[in-house]
């Protein structure tokens, strides 16, 4: 049924699972090949049932997944339509008479699904890539819109290797759509699973995780990375570096309060306080605070790693969560003469795709980006080293990010380096990530914990 590539045995079994379970999930680890099976499923639905498909995803994956559909199925170019742009452009795209699969970002689907189903009434399959990035909150407009849409669309395959995204209730939308009888409503879920709630309504502790584990096994298929490729080959190190004197002086004004905020009501980092934000900004981009006479301590260490990569001719991925820091790191790479690709939320459309392709096809040696935009969907298995200059508060971001370079069995171990400033909130952020990984592991024992 495919054009160039054949399905693995595990992907064939996944396809059979979708056929037997009209609404279900594929919760396989990143790098285990979820995409090929859903491409073939979309072609099957058209070929045998004359039903069309809408595929919802982060916008950064639109072109990549269109390419995957053409690689794994006989769909022609005009049969796979990306819906993006102005309202007038989207209407024209959704009206495409040859269209069989319509690819849309999360917000485009929220705004246009009703019009899409009017223009394409035979759509009866929804695929959702990187589910956790679009539908982890029960109350969001995206999720509420999807609830309504799925009353009209009879088949669904949700895909993510990280369904539990920091909070246990991030699984609720998936369970509610596939099998709403488990919990009458969201409040019933909280009543059964929320153990400690503070004065601000934040859940501090979850309980009865085994029930969620059992439900997910019943509504999903899952393959671990180890099952498909063998044990991950990686070496993870935390490198603590000194802060510059001027930066340390400015940072210390916020350190104690920032640590209190992260220990108290801002426990999971989802609502960082003013002191936390300011402390992290000073560490990540001191130049925006007028501290320009000293080199960042992390930049010093990055320069060492980049020199090693330059000498060895190895590809490197560098992640940051602060735009000014990303831009400074990009400039550092360019000053060293390294061909560098750059992706963040300000880089969109064709430019983002070109940056990703340049790195994947090794026209550039370094990729600098944010986990939110660069850590999903891309295949960068040639990279030898992944460096986190800064981290967000999500274990899902960490695992998704380094697994861009875990695309099958590696010939050499992947080096993963986490840079931290000594005696700083960097350590507390990392401990929050560890705590979230522990919660995810309680529900899904195949989910890795952070042991470094």
| Residues 324 and 411 reside in one and the same domain | yes
User: Is pLDDT at 199 greater than 90 in this prediction?
Assistant: no
Q: Considering the chain, what percentage of its residues have pLDDT values greater than 70?
A: 93
User: 55 and 187 share a domain?
Assistant: yes
Same domain, 342 and 201: no
Do 316 and 195 fall into the same domain? no
Contact indicator for 394, 325 with CB cutoff of 8 Å: no
- Whether 278 maps to a domain, the answer reads no
Are 239 and 360 in a shared domain? Answer: yes
**Same domain (yes/no): 199, 239:** no
Domain count, the chain: 2
**pLDDT tens figures, 55-77:** 999 887 888 899 999 999 999 99
Confidence label for 407 from pLDDT (cuts 50, 70 and 90): confident
Q: How far apart are CA 412 and CA 48, in angstroms?
A: 44
In a domain, 252, yes or no: no
Single out the residue in 225, 258, 276 at which a domain terminates. Answer: 225
Q: In what order do the strands lie in the sheet containing 155-159?
A: 80-83, 101-105, 52-57, 123-129, 155-159, 23-26, 220-221
Angle at 168 between CA 165 and CA 172, to 5 degrees: 95
Q: Residues 65, 186: one domain? A: yes
Cβ(317)–Cβ(387) below 8 Å? yes
Above 90 in pLDDT, residue 24? yes
Q: 398 and 305 in one domain?
A: yes
Question: Residue 264 — very low, low, confident or very high, per pLDDT cuts 50/70/90?
Answer: low
Residue 401 lies in a domain: yes
**More confident position, 59 or 318:** 318
Task: Answer with the one of 176, 198, 225 that is the final residue of a domain.
Answer: 225
Is residue 2 over pLDDT 60?
Answer: no
Residue 28 in any domain: the answer is yes
Average pLDDT over the chain reads: 89
Q: Is residue 3, in this structure, part of any structural domain at all? A: no
Whether the Cβ atoms of residue 284 and residue 390 lie closer than 8 Å to each other:
yes
213 and 299 both lie in a single domain: no
Quick one: average pLDDT of 390-414? 85
CA-based R_g, the chain, Å: 22
Which CATH number goes with the domain that contains 303? 3.40.50.300
Based on the fold, state whether residues 197 and 239 are members of the same structural domain: no
DSSP code for 361? T
Residue 375 forms part of a structural domain: yes
Residue 4: per-residue pLDDT: 47
Residues 239 and 179 occupy one common structural domain: no
By residue range, what is the domain housing residue 112? Answer: 9-225
């Amino acid at each position: 049924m495919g054009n160039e590539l054949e399905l693995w045995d595990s992907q064939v079994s996944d396809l059979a699972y979708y056929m037997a379970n009209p609404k279900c999930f594929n919760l396989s680890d990143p790098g285990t090949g979820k995409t090929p099976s859903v491409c073939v499923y979309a072609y099957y639905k058209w070929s045998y049932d004359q039903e069309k498909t809408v595929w919802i995803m982060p916008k950064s994956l639109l072109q990549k997944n269109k390419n995957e559909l053409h690689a794994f199925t006989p769909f022609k170019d005009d049969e796979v339509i990306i819906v993006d742009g102005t309202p007038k452009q989207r209407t024209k795209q959704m009206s495409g008479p040859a269209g069989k699969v319509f690819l849309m970002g999360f917000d485009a689907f929220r705004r246009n699904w009703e019009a899409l189903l009017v223009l394409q009434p035979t759509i009866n399959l929804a695929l959702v890539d990187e589910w956790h990035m679009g539908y982890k909150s029960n109350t969001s407009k995206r999720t509420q819109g999807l609830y309504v849409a799925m009353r009209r669309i009879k088949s669904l395959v949700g895909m993510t290797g990280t369904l539990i995204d920091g909070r246990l209730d991030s699984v609720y939308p998936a369970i509610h759509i596939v099998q709403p009888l488990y919990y009458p409503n969201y409040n019933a879920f909280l009543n059964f699973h929320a153990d400690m709630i503070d004065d601000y309504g934040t859940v501090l502790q979850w309980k009865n995780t085994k029930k969620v584990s059992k439900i997910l096994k019943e509504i999903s298929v899952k393959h671990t990375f180890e099952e498909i490729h063998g044990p991950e080959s990686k070496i993870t190190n935390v490198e603590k570096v000194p802060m510059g004197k001027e930066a340390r002086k400015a940072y210390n004004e916020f350190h104690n309060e920032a640590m209190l905020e992260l220990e108290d009501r801002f426990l999971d980092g989802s609502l960082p306080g003013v002191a936390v934000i300011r402390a992290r900004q000073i560490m990540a981009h001191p130049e925006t605070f007028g501290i320009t006479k000293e080199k960042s301590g992390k930049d010093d260490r990055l320069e060492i790693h980049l020199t090693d990569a330059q000498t060895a001719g190895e590809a490197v991925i560098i992640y940051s969560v602060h735009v000014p820091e990303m831009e400074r790191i990009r400039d550092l790479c360019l000053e060293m003469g390294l061909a560098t690709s750059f992706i963040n939320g300000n880089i969109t459309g064709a430019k983002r795709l070109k940056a990703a392709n340049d790195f994947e096809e090794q026209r550039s040696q370094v990729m600098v980006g944010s986990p939110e935009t660069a850590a999903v969907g891309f295949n960068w298995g040639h990279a030898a080293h992944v460096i986190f200059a800064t981290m967000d508060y999500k274990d899902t971001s960490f695992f998704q990010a380094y697994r861009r370079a875990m695309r099958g069995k590696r010939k050499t171990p992947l080096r993963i380096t986490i840079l931290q400033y000594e005696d700083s909130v960097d350590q507390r952020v990392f401990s929050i990530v560890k705590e979230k990984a522990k919660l995810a592991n309680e529900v899904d024992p195949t989910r890795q914990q952070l042991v470094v």
